[in-house]
Structures are given as C-alpha cells and as structure tokens.
A and B are shown apart, each in its own frame.
With several copies, the nearest count.
Chain A
Amino acid sequence: MPGFDKVVNSYEEAMQGLEDDMTIIAGGFGLCGIPEGCIAQIKKMGTKGLTIVSNNCGVDGFGLGILLEDKQVKKMISSYVGENALFMQQLLDGELEVELTPQGTLAEKMRAAGAGIPAFYTATGYGTLVGEGKDVREFDGRKYILEESIKGDFAIVKGWKADRYGNVIYRHTAQNFNPMAATAGKITVVEVEEIVEPGELDPTQIHTPGIYVDRLIQGTFEKRIEQRTVRDA
C-alpha cells in the first residue's frame, strides 16, 4: 500500500516545510524519549523564532537545549525548565519567553488538540498564577479553570518501532508525551529505532495509529541519561 508508506529517507525531508515562527510540539520527558534527529535537523536548518511545546527544554548542549545556542527559540511552553543554564540566561536577558504549564495540563492540551477538543476544564492551577485570566467555572461545588488545546505546525516524536504505515510503539517510559504530541501536529514526524513491515506489530498494541503520522524516519539515538542512579548488584 504505497499510499500509506510514511517512510522518508532523510531528516531534510522529514522536516521539510518548517519555517521561522512556527510552533513545534515535541515529545519527550527530560532527555528520555526525545526526537534527537529532528532536533538536530532543526538546529542545522537554523529556523528562528520558534515556539516549542515540550515538557522540558533539554540540558545545556543536548536535547532541545541545542536550539538555544543559536537563539532559535522564541518561546517555550513547558512544565519544568530547571536543568539548563543557557535557558536561564536567555530568560533573564529577555531573549526567551517561557509559559509555565502544569505537566498534566500540558499533556491534556496536546491530546485535546489532536482529539478536536478546543478546551477543557481542570482544577489544576485554579487559584494560582496559571489560572490568572482564565475562565473559572464551578462543577459540583469545586472550581475549575478553562484550558485551551495547543496545536503545532509540526509535531516531532520519538518512537521505538513503527511499521511503514506509521503505526508506532514506544519503549518503557520513553513513551511519556510522545503519543499526545503525535496527534497534535499539522505535520507529524516520527523517528524510530526500527522500521518494520506492516503486520509485524500487533494491531491491538499500537500506541500511535498511523493516521496521525505524516513522515516516518529511522534514526540512531544517543539516549543520554540525565540522572544516572544505580544500586549495588
């Protein structure tokens, strides 16, 4: 079924159409399950003025952090940005905006965008800075704020395996934000460790059905570990 073959053969092709001032939704939590190849390609392209929606912004010199080096990022929408000195510097210098968003709300905003839900109510953030200026409504005696969905011009996603039709599975906790990100891009690019033939993945065990995926590429991954914690054997 060639019409459903999502495989592209280069990151140039994978990120084709990315332009200045676009919004990118990125999967990953910390450095776990991040689309390393797409991020490297964005750096290479030098695209500027980007709004990036991602739980974190990598670390200095790795992950999304490398996009700060050439000041490609205008705004980050994240829940936690604490691991990155360059980030803090650019934030303090006013070169970078940040919109802090609770982690669960961020995940739900991505899911909602993909699911045709323009907004939802959540108790998270009511009465805090996050709730300021947002609609408040009471249900069953409790107050909730209205949060809007968030869609990207691109979504960049890291999977483990995918078939050519773009059916993706994730490995362990590298799943994190990736399945929601995959639904929320006008163009969704998925990079995986292994591309398999259709039929090799169990249909009932697909995490991201191919309908959400526009381009699929096989990459190689450093998978840097942020907090290496071990116990004695």
Chain B
Amino acid sequence: MALSREQMAMRVARELQDGYYVNLGIGIPTLVANYIPDGMEVMLQSENGLLGMGQFPTEDEIDADMINAGKQTVTAITGASIFSSAESFAMIRGGHVDLTVLGAFEVDVEGNIASYMIPGKLVKGMGGAMDLVAGADNIFVLMTHASKHGESKLLTKCTLPLTGAGCIKKVLTDLAYLEIEDGKFHLKERAPGVSVEEIIEKTAGELVVPAEVPEMTF
C-alpha cells in the first residue's frame, strides 16, 4: 500500500542524525518534526530567520513578531538564535544546513526539480525554495509518485519551470525511495506491499531496479 503522509514523514525522519540542523518545507515535510527518534535532537531552521524553531505557541504565548517561514505563529526553543534574512540564507546557501526536506511537482533523472510554478495557473513565487535546493548538499524531496490521473512525476525531463537544476539526489514518494545518479533513478526501497512492477509502471524516467528491493517497515 502507498505510504501515508505520516509514514512518509517517518521514513524521512530515519535520515536524521543527532545534532542535525534541518529545514523542513511546508506540507508533509513539516510532519517530519513529529517523528524525531528518541534520544536524538535536531534543530529546525526557518528561513525567515530562526534557528531552533519550537512548537506552536499556546494562546497566551502567541506573538505576532514570532513566526516561521510559513507565516505561522511559533515559539523558539531554549538556545535558539534569531537573525536577518540575509544571515538566514547565508546559512542555507553556504551549505550549513545538514538536511533540507521539501515537496515538489516533478523531479527528473538529471536531478532537476520543479516545485514552485504551474504556468497558466496562479503564480505565487519560489520563496526560499530556489535557495534551499541550490544551497543544500543533502536534500530529500517528498512527493507522490504520480498525479491523481496516474501521470508519473519522476520524469526524463521536467516539464514545469525548474526550481533548481541538477541538485536532487534523494526522492521519497508514497511508493518508493529512490536515489538519482548517473542520469537515472535507482530504486532503493519500496513501500510495504507495493510491487516493483507498479513502481516501474509509474516511473517515466529511466529506472534502475536491483535484484532485491527491500520493503520499508514501520
């Protein structure tokens, strides 16, 4: 069966290491914070200028001057730091963030990612996404493997305007975990009960399938 949003978050959380600075995009990536393994600590970076984002405030704690990159009211943990947007993106662009998790519309075998714009529909802008994909070495893309109409989002070449070129190496979909290398997708893990055939069928870009594809366990 395809992974639930929560399972996707759980799977990504396994990539965390103690002491990681992590930037989590809006949507499913945000859920990763709920699955940080016991005894491990990570610090969340919010690109508007907060390192050490805490949980949402209580009604009493709410403060208009304390928000995250999604413009939600948040708190800061003990030992947080707060700084300008220039400093925040210095951290991001300079490669100081250990793990970036974000959503996408499409990725392709060259590591290109499209995640911010669907021409003809509303144009909202890339926000910090272009900096995040350009700056991080370790990026996890989270998305569904195919659209609601069954069209693959793992392509030979992205069709939508790119957020970044050649910067994605790791993709987790609801069906599989794949890595991108040498211009191909490499199937590394499959969702519990999902067949290799289904993954092959729903992957438009060239896919390398090893003899054995381990099933994820939760």
Our verdict on whether A and B bind, yes or no, reads yes
Nearest B-chain residue to A84, judged by Cβ? B124
Q: A181: shortest Cβ distance to chain B, in Å? A: 10
Q: Which of A30, A80, A212 contacts B125 (CB 8 A)?
A: A80
Contact with B along A1-41 (1 / 0, CB 8 A): 11110000000000000000000000001111100000000
Contact of B81 among A79, A108, A123, A167 (CB under 8 A): A167
Size of interface on B: residues with Cβ below 8 Å to A: 76
In the complex, whether B204 has a CB less than 8 A from a CB of chain A is: no
A206 touches B84 (CB 8 A): no
Measured between alpha carbons, how far is A116 from B136 in the docked complex, in Å? 10
Q: Which of A175, A199, A211, A223 contacts B64 (CB 8 A)?
A: A223
Query: How far is A226 from B138 in the complex, measured between Cα atoms in Å?
Result: 31
Partner of B83, one of A105, A174, A175: A175
Whether A180 touches B58, Cβ cut-off 8 Å, given contacts A125-B134, A171-B65, A227-B71, is no
Partner of B56, one of A117, A203, A211, A230: A230
Q: Chain A residues near B127 (CB, 8 Å)?
A: 79-80, 102-103
Compute the total of residue contacts between A and B using a CB distance below 8 Å: 249
Which chain B positions have C-beta within 8 A of A98?
123, 125
In the complex, whether A127 has a CB less than 8 A from a CB of chain B is yes
Q: From residue 99 to 156 of chain A, which have CB atoms closer than 8 A to chain B? A: 100, 102-108, 110-111, 113-117, 122-130
Nearest Cβ distance between residue B197 and chain A, in whole angstroms? 33
Cβ-based interface call for B174 (8 A): no
Let me know if A2 and B126 touch, CB within 8 A: no
> 1/0 per position for B58-86, CB-CB distance to A under 8 A?
11101111111011111010111111111
Q: A229, B51: Cβ atoms under 8 Å?
A: no
Contact across chains for B91 and A127 when beta carbons are under 8 A apart: no
Chain B residue nearest to A212 (CB atoms) is: B96
A102 CB to closest chain B CB (Å) equals: 4
On whether the beta carbons of B67 and A226 are closer than 8 Å, the reply is yes
Per the bound structure, the CA–CA distance linking A98 and B96 in Å amounts to 30
- Residues of A contacting B81 in the complex (Cβ-Cβ under 8 angstroms): 167, 203, 206, 209-210
- Chain B contact surface mostly: loop
Contacts of B82 in A (CB 8 A): 172-173, 175, 203-204, 206
Residues on A with beta carbons closer than 8 Å to the beta carbon of B117: 129
B85 touches A210 (CB 8 A): no
Q: Are B64 and A229 in contact (CB under 8 A)?
A: no
**Nearest-CB distance from A149 to chain B (Å)?**
10
Please encode chain B, from 35 to 70, with 1 for each CB lying within 8 Å of some chain A CB and 0 for all others.
000001111011111111001111110111111101
A102 touches B65 (CB 8 A): no
* Contacting pair B47 A199 (CB below 8 A): no
Q: In the complex, what residues of A have CB within 8 A of residue B161's CB?
A: 128-129
- A79-B126, A115-B90, A210-B81 in contact; A173/B65 too (CB < 8 A)? yes
Give A116's nearest chain B residue, CB to CB. B93
Q: Which residues of B contact A107 (CB under 8 A)?
A: 84-86, 88-89
- Nearest-neighbor residue (CB-CB) of B119 within chain A: A129
Q: Are B97 and A211 neighbours in the complex by a CB distance under 8 Å?
A: yes
Docked pose: A116 CA to B56 CA in angstroms: 31
Instruction: Determine if B63 and A172 form an interchain contact, defined as CB atoms under 8 angstroms apart.
Output: yes
Give chain A's interface residues, CB within 8 Å of chain B. 1-4, 29-33, 55, 78-82, 88, 91, 98, 100, 102-108, 110-111, 113-117, 122-130, 160, 163-165, 167, 171-180, 183, 198-199, 203-204, 206-207, 209-212, 223-233
Could you list 18 A-B pairs, sorted by A, with CB under 8 Å? Answer: A2-B18, A3-B42, A32-B65, A98-B123, A98-B125, A102-B131, A108-B89, A114-B94, A125-B130, A173-B46, A173-B48, A173-B65, A203-B82, A209-B51, A210-B51, A230-B73, A231-B57, A233-B59
